[in-house]
């Protein structure tokens, strides 16, 4: 009987492939302060990280603010949407 063993590299690749990004999009409605505060409260960002993401969102139109599995990102995405911030999981 042969047993299939997965290497640590294979396991890591499978984990990385399963990871998703929580993307926040720019809009003309929300203030910088609101987005920064939301990233801190919802995503657990430090102030500096939230500010940097907000500037990226402003200038590039979008920013991946969090990476992880769908199950952990979904409540964050919902909370951002409830705060009026455009977000989705990719």
Task: Let me know if residue 30 belongs to a domain.
Answer: yes
Task: Let me know if residue 85 belongs to a domain.
Answer: yes
User: Can you give the residue range of the structural domain that contains 65?
Assistant: 18-89
Q: How many residues does the chain have?
A: 90
**What confidence category does residue 6 fall into, taking pLDDT thresholds of 50, 70 and 90?**
low
Task: Let me know if residue 9 belongs to a domain.
Answer: no
Integer-rounded Cα Rg, in Å, for the chain is 16
Q: Is 3 exposed, middle or buried (0-12, 13-18, 19+ CB in 10 A)?
A: exposed
Task: Let me know if residue 1 belongs to a domain.
Answer: no
* Total count of domains within the chain: 1
Query: What CATH number should be reported for the domain holding residue 71?
Result: 3.30.1390.10
SS (H, E, C) 30-58: CCHHHHHHHHHHHHCCCHHHHHHHHHHHH
Cβ neighbours for 62, distance < 8 A, ≥ 6 positions apart: 23, 24, 25, 26
CA gap 28, 50 in Å, rounded = 18
Task: Let me know if residue 47 belongs to a domain.
Answer: yes
Task: Let me know if residue 36 belongs to a domain.
Answer: yes
DSSP state letter for 76? H
Give the tens place of pLDDT for each residue, 32-81. Answer: 999 999 999 999 999 999 999 999 999 999 999 999 999 999 999 999 99
pLDDT for 12 beyond 70:
no
Task: Let me know if residue 12 belongs to a domain.
Answer: no
* pLDDT score for 25: 98
Q: Give this prediction's pTM.
A: 0.82
């Amino acid at each position: 009987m042969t047993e299939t063993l997965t290497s640590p590299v294979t396991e890591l690749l499978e984990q990385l492939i399963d990871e998703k990004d929580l993307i926040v999009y720019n809009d003309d409605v929300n203030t910088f302060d609101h987005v920064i505060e939301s990233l801190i409260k919802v995503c657990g960002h430090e102030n500096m990280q939230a500010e940097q993401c907000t500037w990226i969102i402003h200038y590039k139109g979008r920013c991946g603010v969090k990476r992880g599995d769908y199950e952990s990102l979904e409540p964050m995405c919902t909370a951002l949407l409830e705060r009026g911030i455009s977000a989705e999981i990719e």
